[in-house]
Amino acid sequence: MDLRDFHFIMIKPTHYDDDGYPIQWLRSAIPSNTLASLNGLAEAARERNALGEGVHIHLHAYDETNKRVMPGKIARDIKKRGGKALIALVGVQSNQFPRAADLARKFMAEGVQTAIGGFHVSGCISMLDEMPAELVELQDEGVSYFAGEAEDRRLDQVFRDAWDSDLKPLYNFMADLPSLGGEPTPILPSKHIQFTAGSHSSFDLGRGCPYQCSFCTIINVQGRKSRFRSADDLERIIRDNYEQGINRFFITDDNFARNREWEPLFDRLIALREKENFDIKFIIQVDTLCHRIENFIEKATRAGVNRVFIGLENINPDNLLAAKKRQNKITEYREMLQKWRNHGATTYAGYIIGFPGDTKEAVLRDVEIIKKELPLDLLEFFYLTPLPGSEDHKVLLSKNTWMDPDLNKYDLNHRVSHHPKMTDTEWEEAYREAWESYYSDEHIETVLRRAAAHPKGRPGNKLFLMMWFKLMVQHEGVHPLEGGYFRLKFRRDRRSGLPIEHPLVFYPKYFWQIVSKHWASVAAVWRVHRIYKKVKASPDRRSYSDIAIAPMDKASEEDLAMIKETRGGTEAVAKSARDAALRKAGKERAKASASA
């Protein structure tokens, strides 16, 4: 036993399913960027002896989506090894706060210092005049909070306070967002990455967003002034991860297209791929105007971007305006998606259901329009959710408007407020039927045909991804972003306040769920795989075309249902024409000035 040991235990909590069990998998899909970032910062603190010579800092990381967290066992291990410890529940979103609170109370009961950080804490402190009751209650029990970002050696202060058994109730850095340049590499040991789907990890190259979307928490947590890592930082991140066999990455920047250093960053990745033969691939997130940036899509795909998530959000201009998402232009959607398709990238898009102008009929109509007229591969649906830390939440709170008190439901996959036009039932039906419509066998076949028609289409990859989304929603009852392979449940890990089920109830039910879900999944995969084989075997698959992928002039595009049948579409076309005329006039003036 060494009393000069300090244990820093980083835990990224999951959240509970509707039955009160943590959502966990044998293999989860998306690695935690927060966990990788904090682990990298903690490794740097250890290397510089943040607690002085002679104190050994031990780091332990848990991603609860794929690793069971047992507070009692962890506490016993700490006591056995000796020294002091700090439990850090990191990256806690609003829907994860109930789970984080349950874990925190268990660790505190074991006598282990505990702190919570993440978007829920930071968002509430950023936007609300008073700390919410759930935060106050837990703080009164001795849990500390960390608001803001941990770069700029801020962990050193927290480590010293924990070593002195004198944690502050709140570490608030919201008014001082740090630079990212030169900061330590976001990295997790490969032993943690093996529990995700493939050799994937994640990191960010920029934080902050200049836009003002009212449903977004990022602008109020990470700020509206963008901060970036350098190309040298990026290369170090890639090399450090590549050395331990990690070569697939999710760049978590909310909008990579607004990173002013995008070109040097892509150029560095291109050099690694083309000059040093690095086998690296990336998923990035962009806005709907990225195709206007000269060479952006071309360089992105050369750099290894093979999947791109696009903040489409809606095809109704009035809804976009109501949410202050003025940057989205529905007249640009089709051209942008076609350009990504032509360069071989798989396109994802998020679509929000529940804007003030929505009705069930309008939502389902718009989904049909998207299926027919936009060459999207994957579409993810979300409830419009007043997330703590967003302007929407603050407005509803100020008006004393009902919002569901159960934070566990704030995962964008549950309805947590009422709608001005739809009943609660209609809203829930619109959400459920939107998923069913887009991931119907008929539309899966359409997407596969579009992919098979293009030399870079990768229909097999499209099949896998579409079936993943379909099965997570239909058979696992979770959003695909929370999905994984083989659901794990542990009887005693149930949410506080709910009874622990008797073994003769829990285990037969769990076994039946495993069997029935896998049987249904196998049947669905077999059925759709036959469609895939038919598409692949079609001798004329290269000649397939439809409205979404066919070239079209501007006059014809104005006849699209997306323009004609959605409210505000005509005005959007007119504005697009005016903007194009102004851009043309500006170019002509610049040309004339240069000639003079």
24-76 residue pLDDT tens: 999 888 778 899 899 999 999 999 999 998 899 999 999 999 999 999 999 99
Residue pLDDT, tens place only, 165-197 = 999 999 999 988 888 888 888 888 777 777 776
Query: 5-12 and 84-89 as β-strands: parallel, antiparallel, unpaired?
Result: parallel
Does residue 64 sit within a domain? yes
- For 441, phi and psi rounded to 5 degrees? -60, -35
**Domain boundary residue, one of 172, 196, 230:** 172
Q: What one-character-per-residue DSSP string does 269-303 give? A: HHHHHHHS----EEEEEE-TTGGGSTTHHHHHHHT
Cα separation, 208 vs 176, whole angstroms: 13
- Between 248 and 583, name the one with better pLDDT: 248
Where among 172, 191, 217 does a domain terminate?
172
Dihedral sign from CA coordinates of 249, 384, 365, 563: negative
Q: Strands of 183-244 (E only): list them.
A: 200-203, 206-207, 227-228
C-alpha torsion angle, residues 537, 538, 540, 543 (rounded to 10): -90
Task: Tell me the H-state helices in 63-195.
Answer: 71-81, 97-109, 119-127, 133-140, 154-163, 190-193
3-class secondary structure, 582: helix
Angle at 395 between CA 129 and CA 433, to 5 degrees: 130
Strand partners, 346: 307
pLDDT at 312: 75
Q: Are strands 84-89 and 346-353 parallel, antiparallel or unpaired?
A: unpaired
CA dist 363 and 379 (Å) reads: 14
Say which residues have a Cβ less than 8 Å from residue 261's Cβ, sequence separation at least 6.
228, 230, 231
Number of Cβ atoms within 10 Å of the Cβ of 153: 16
Q: Which range marks the domain in which residue 584 is found?
A: 554-595
Confidence at residue 202, expressed as pLDDT on a 0 to 100 scale: 86
Give the whole-angstrom CA distance, residue 561 versus residue 15.
40
Beta strands in 142-270 (DSSP E): 144-147, 170-172, 200-203, 206-207, 227-228, 248-251
For 400-437, what is each residue's pLDDT tens digit? 999 999 999 999 999 999 999 999 999 999 999 999 99
List, in sequence order, every beta strand (DSSP E) within 293-367.
Answer: 305-313, 346-353
Of 144, 172, 200, which marks where a domain is finished?
Answer: 172
24 domain-assigned: yes
Q: What is the CATH number of the domain that holds 57?
A: 3.40.50.280
1 has a pLDDT exceeding 60: no
Cβ atoms of 451 and 401 within 8 Å: the answer is no
Confidence band of 323 (pLDDT split at 50, 70, 90) = very low
CA distance 378 to 486: 22
> What's the pLDDT score for residue 245?
86
Length of the chain measured in residues: 596
User: For residue 89, is it within any domain?
Assistant: yes
Query: What's residue 215's pLDDT?
Result: 83
What pLDDT score does 328 carry? 46
Q: Give me 307's structure tokens.
A: 């999947």
Q: How far apart are CA 74 and CA 298, in angstroms?
A: 49
d(CA 476, CA 473): 6
Total number of domains constituting the chain: 2
Buried b (16+ CB within 10 A) or exposed e, 69-96: bebeebbeebeeeebbbbbbbbbbbbbb
Mean pLDDT value across the chain: 89
- Is the residue at 31 inside a domain? yes
Between CA 134 and CA 92 the distance in angstroms is 14
Give how far Cα 313 sits from Cα of 317, 325, 551, Å: 10, 9, 24
Rg (CA), the chain: 25
Task: Note the pLDDT tens digit of each residue in 246-300.
Answer: 888 999 888 898 888 899 999 999 999 999 999 999 999 998 888 889 999 999 9
b/e code 367-389 from CB counts within 10 Å (16+ = b) = bbbbbebbbbbbbbbbbbbbbbb
Question: How far apart are the C-alpha atoms of 30 and 37, rounded to whole Å?
Answer: 15
User: Measured between alpha carbons, how far is 316 from 105 in angstroms, rounded to an integer?
Assistant: 45
The per-residue pLDDT for range 506-554, each reduced to its tens digit, is 999 999 999 999 999 999 999 999 999 999 999 999 999 998 888 866 5
Q: What is the pLDDT of residue 522?
A: 93
Collapsing DSSP states into helix, strand and coil, what is residue 485?
A: strand
Number of helices followed by number of strands (H, E) in the chain: 22, 16
State the Cα–Cα distance between residues 419 and 321, nearest whole angstrom: 17
CA distances in angstroms from 56 to 47, 82, 83, 111, 158, listed in the order given: 10, 11, 9, 21, 16
The Cα 167–Cα 142 span in angstroms is 9
- Is 124 inside any structural domain? yes
Q: Is 150 contained in some domain?
A: yes
Asked, for residue 573, whether it belongs to a domain, the answer is: yes
Look at residue 359 and tell me if it is in a domain.
Answer: no
Q: pLDDT per residue over 92-124, tens digit each?
A: 999 999 999 999 999 999 999 999 999 999 999
